[in-house]
A and B are shown apart, each in its own frame.
Chain A
């Protein structure tokens, strides 16, 4: 079955429904008697809610109820949680204020809900929401880190003096200071990692249904991890115990991290469904998505690197301020700490690293993990710093990287991570060859003759994926384990259902997971169905994020397959009257090696269920489950090379070429892997060139629609040149590393390094819009 097994670019099983309009997204679902919710949201970034008058709204056509934050408190619905405890360097636990699903007394960002209208139609709910009169007493707001940390700044939460959530550090300060004291060269850089808005194309949506007879809830929602949603809704928000709550995440139109979290709207929909005794549907409009989906990035950093006289790295010192927005979202605390600073060693031997991170509250939308989550910030900082060093030290940037690459594995960095394997020379060589690095000076000179500025930028990234060993993350403060579960159900006719706790929202699991199973048994993928996204069907799962589905989810599938195959082998051996060790599995058959004796897999499946002739003491049936907890993170790595032309008259950047050479370990479906890289690159380039959330000084989100927030369009991007180098991952049975985030992690630094190379000015922040680039060219950078 080589044509459909591991390594084959099989077209996706799930595509037919999407290309024929038969996808099944949350907003496509209509339940009998369904009502519609529309939220009343704060127009102020910071205000006291002095009163809510719903009397006019309640008289409007079709209005079923108006519910407020005060009623939520009265019903003892819990506040939103942050699931990862971070301790400051003085040992104190992070300082966190409460986040109620609808604000009973204070709003802290524009768009925060204070009430919800439930009505017969979407338009009636929307109309009535405008008639809800909220008496806001405005308070001074802070929309930037700098404003939040200024002396006398307005305070968001009494629990967090100075608006500081934590002041955390990693690494050895004394050793790092000593390295700098003895350095021949020190290179420094200050930079901003711009705030992004994830913008999955499907807006978030929830449909809650309450069955009073069974005291049971069902929630259809746009989630990357329905079991985690159920756990949080049950254990922390007091909606219903887990056995009385079913969460279904059907087709989900992209996530990129933004659909990991349990948001106020899903909670309120469930609570309201019981209040009004009818199903409640809520679907975000795009501006609600801009205002309420967790944002990403938003760091301001100072970084310094110490070198010896031979340009070997001696130490790295980083101080980062991270903007959390107004509340601590579900995994937000881990993003600028354990998902960021632990990657600051990059691909390099850096003997000592010290990083400090202050997390800061501002009157803006909460910030959490967005594609890459901490790792894009780390890579952007490190790779711009390395490129800056090469320019300062007047050495070739590729050579400077080569000189400092890690070459022996496993490699223990000074910042917790132990890299298991990699070949950084191989990926850099592949990228340089593909982009014709040697020929670049001639191309640059030719471009100059045409009056345009040409630049080439590199970015050698590393990331930690396959999130994550439960014990390790537990020791670092995580509130959950990060294993994955799988179940293999073989039906009596020999078809297979793979039930996985991973969730596909574009990644193609229905194909790749089937390929892994098909490969092991030598059966067609048409015989394998993949089931995911329903807490009533799948035993449990931690969901999809952090490029974990193949490394952790498929590893769980392999573990369950091994158990199932062992049982099938015993049945075959028993029926064929041979030793189990003599059985080999090939082309859907269990064969006795060296003979023509064999049993089709389907007949073994049937035998397991008829149970007429099983080994003594064996239970009937052929169904196995497994929980897989990874032994380490995985470490995808690669080298990106961007070549750009900048028009000095307009500041506009155009790509000549973009090469991505990645090492993801074993590839299950190269076509799908490349698709993941393309999408990641677009988001990384989007960050570098055009995307960025803009708040005004009063905390109004200026970029709250597609008219204002610049999404990359087809004409903004080039076709990409992808290369693969391979070191098989030794840390999981699939040999895979993960590919979902690489593009978003590596692309921004390569792009900005290329532009700064072209214009000859290193002082450039993202997004490098034409006006910023033009200013940098003309010396105003």
Chain B
């Protein structure tokens, strides 16, 4: 309601300043009236012009009148101007003649529109690199060389092959597929993209694993790569499993030529293996793992808008304000901020929302609309008067099921007052008509037989509400996905099944009663646990948006791990920025600082937490509506490589301290070695600590700049300088830093004697043992989460095998927990650099504010309820509930009996099924309602 989607539109220019911009938008014609189109598909069916389908990455055809895919939003057809025969030649127009609702409008013209807004967020995305210029890979010439995005479509059930992997030349199942990494990334010779695209290693592994799942173990999948960059959460394990369990082959080599095998559609690869031997191997198919780049048009637009770009043409941002562009009031998120995966894009997007909301906090709710509240009609005790609406879903249902027959049948069922059908029950006019019918006929229960309640139930329930009917007096039954789609070839049986489904729904809804949603206030105070960079950024953003915030830190000062860090990957001084941040937090009147303080008890639930803080034996209790956990992480304490036995063997943080102190001894070193992955990517800690490659390279550059003659070596397993951090790797090599790869099985050995340190390592290119004589060894130690079981229990949040908090959803809910009202950010989620920590802190706040802004929340009506007269107080429900909703009543007549807190209950039914006394009922799914459906079905058999 408060989002206006403007499709087929581009922004032309932005004038004004932060808080008040004018944006010029050019809207291209759709040639179809969005208000009229019912997405029946007749225009596409009749359109005679076939063209390449861009949604299927060019692997199939579509019409000039089309919808991108069945789930498109808005679900409105569009006429492709460049390919429409009528728009190009003035003839045809068959779609216009055939459209049943007269929605085709060839007279639409481009429209210019100026929109006034307080802030702009740029999330224009990326374009996949086009590998046509890579002649030696044969992409443009050979049909069996495809891009990774094309391969995604081949894997997809909605793709051109329905998910059956076949190669384009002959539609045969491939037996051997090769992936080439870094196509259009980390390459300054054949393209200009020096950066790493961050996502390709992981998606190539995913594609290989899924391809093997589809085709079986006979399929041979080989990934040709330079460095395997699986630096994301749980990625390393996936890589390990792909190699060890799925049998995906990983070959460290950049293939230099591909030649078609004469007389077949196969391809021969020539490549040099690590030990220097030239090999050839024949594959059926090649997938090019193409990188991300900023489209040229976007580069030009950025220049026009005054948005400065980085070397790789991404929006320039600073580490401590990771979503702010160079133009105040304009923010950035997604791949335009730098190549990134979905979770990071989602984090940045929420962060950009928070940044815009900070700017506009004092004009919040001034442009939004509120839903009109229709008073509810009391139908309790009235005889059921059921309305049944059968949806044709265009031809989706009506093409198989005999809808008029089902309507006639429904009209004969008990309590049915009205039965009717609609071309599309979800269309606006059908909704308006439903409201009228409810009022006119005095209907008090509604059944809709249509598609899936997963997508459409809320829409229909809104319609009930609009008609003054309690939204739970409703039942939806799925005669599309579970009937017409699966019984396409048996229309008669499908019609009978539709009747059965409708009868079951009618019998259930007749027993349905209006349900109440409990209204709960949301306390407008926030609590942040952890005073490191993430915690401070979260507290500051909450305060900027007007919320009183308690910042709890168990140590005696703010700053966390950042106090020990020297410089960001972009070359900013961390101590300077950190000091500014601490000062700002301390001076903020809305932030209440609790140092030397820990949580000793947490009560309550979303919107209404009551937390007891304990500081030096003194306890205080605070009420708050939301909590952000930013409890951080610590460096791994190692005893490997002689750490702790010799002061010349140090950790990255020790070296940072020397650099901060400008320690003169650093300039006089003759040689220095960095050892990577100390404690990371090992069986007992199977994750990558994400930041150590960049950190060591940064420090290696510092040493080289202090003393160019110093011999600096980095001993690594894979260099993981993702995104534009790759440029640092390049710079280090140019400065003469020597990179030597080692394997987990053959780790370096450090020996200390009085004059020097000797590091023995096996060189992977020369295949010879090397002996490096140096004065300093720096260990890049792993990042270990500050696991706090007490805190996990307080807020009912879980940690993974490595001790990091588990977020709600790895991709779509990266900054919140499954427990409502509790959010997470920073190192407690996963190792990450400062910019990503700050972005996630803002993201956590953005998510928290969506809850705080509601002021009150409604619990669902479909919750469990205990009948205390029947409860045996056995406690099974209390122990089994994953949300801690049931508890024992503490006082009164039913003391000791179970009761369910409706605010916590998710209506899963676990307690209902496990109650041995039959004392628990799930409202809306009560036993008699389930049984009546079963009885009705028995009749059908």
Q: Do A and B truly interact?
A: no
- B residues contacting A by CB (< 8 A) are none
- A residues contacting B by CB (< 8 A) are none
